Amino acid sequence: MHNQSKMKKIVVLTGAGISAESGLRTFRDSNGLWEEHRVEDVATFEAWQRNQALVLEFYNQRRKQLYEVKPNAGHMALVELEKKFDVQIITQNVDDLHEQAGSAKVMHLHGELKKVRSTVDENLVYTLDGWELKKGDLCEKGSQLRPHIVWFGEAVPMIEPAMELSAEADIFIVIGTSLNVYPAASLVYYIKKSTPVYLIDPHAEMLSGVKNLTVFREPAGTGVPMLVKQLMDSGL
């Protein structure tokens, strides 16, 4: 039995890289999604106003793929950590692979693919049945439903609680994110100077301004289990 209040708090910031080995493409790697689609065409509110069909199709394809993939060893290893630590995941991913793996606390910064919401009342959020959101699918107030995604140029409602969590971390882990997108990328600046930070990414670059950094230049499927074993075996 573990006493939750005495457990060390691990905060994990994940990006598209943790889901890559499940078969979901990242955004900015070569062959990434943003090579094939322009952000301005599919991931902004202006795009939605200009060409709803194209935006619906883009997210329908993402959602359809999500139903075809499974969590990988990286997602699974993070669940293992909960046996010894109070683990909070902050993900930029819109997939639900952390939840499918069994992680208990997952905060989504950029929304969730399997959810949709009203275009007149942002509080009306629904879980979509199946993969396809169609023109003419309406909220209870009669407006077209949109993907429950934070588009470029839109506010990130969960950023404040995410900053607070980052500041509370005893151990901070960053996995598979290029840290190109703000404000998500700024979370690393809220980590306490005394907190050890681990970075797992096959193309990892140093995190400037972050003290106590250990880099695993590894894919998540092998790097995360490696780090988890180290933390489980440690005296922490």
Query: Quick check: 71 binds ligand OAD (CB under 6 A)?
Result: no
Closer CB to ligand OAD, 42 or 139, in the complex? 42
Q: Which helix (H) or strand (E) holds 114?
A: strand 111-118
- d(Cα 25, Cα 33) in Å, to the nearest integer? 6
- Contacting residues for 62 by C-beta, under 8 A, at least 6 apart: 94, 113
**Contact with ligand OAD (CB under 6 A) among 10, 13, 16, 162:** 16
Minimum distance of ligand OAD from residue 67's CB (angstroms): 19
Minimum distance of ligand OAD from residue 125's CB (angstroms): 16
Query: Quick check: 227 binds ligand OAD (CB under 6 A)?
Result: no
**Which of 224, 186, 217, 203 has its CA nearest to residue 80?**
224
- d(Cα 165, Cα 84) in Å, to the nearest integer? 18
Q: In terms of C-beta distances under 8 Å and separation of at least 24 residues, what long-range contacts does 193-199 make, across chains too?
A: 195/169, 195/170, 195/171, 196/171, 196/172, 197/172, 197/173, 198/171, 198/172, 198/173, 198/174, 198/227, 199/173, 199/174, 199/175
Query: Quick check: 188 binds ligand OAD (CB under 6 A)?
Result: no
Active-site residue, 110 included: yes
**Contact with ligand OAD (CB under 6 A) among 118, 144, 177, 195:** 177
Query: Quick check: 27 binds ligand OAD (CB under 6 A)?
Result: yes
Minimum distance of ligand OAD from residue 201's CB (angstroms): 4
Binding mask 28-67 for ligand OAD (x = CB under 6 A): xx--x----------x------------------------
**Contact with ligand OAD (CB under 6 A) among 60, 92, 118, 144:** 92
**Contact with ligand OAD (CB under 6 A) among 21, 86, 95, 112:** 21
Query: Quick check: 228 binds ligand OAD (CB under 6 A)?
Result: no
What are the beta bridge partners of residue 14? Answer: 91, 175
Q: Which of residues 126-165 bind ligand OAD (CB under 6 A)?
A: 150
Minimum distance of ligand OAD from residue 65's CB (angstroms): 14
Q: Which of residues 196-225 bind ligand OAD (CB under 6 A)?
A: 201-203, 219-220
Helices (H), the chain: 17-20, 33-36, 39-42, 45-50, 52-66, 73-80, 97-101, 159-168, 220-233
**Alpha-carbon distances of 65 from 59, 80, 96, 181, 202, rounded to whole Å:** 10, 26, 12, 23, 24
Closer CB to ligand OAD, 64 or 83, in the complex? 64
Name the residues that contact ligand OAD, by CB under 6 A: 15-18, 20-21, 26-29, 32, 43, 92, 110, 150, 176-178, 180-181, 201-203, 219-220
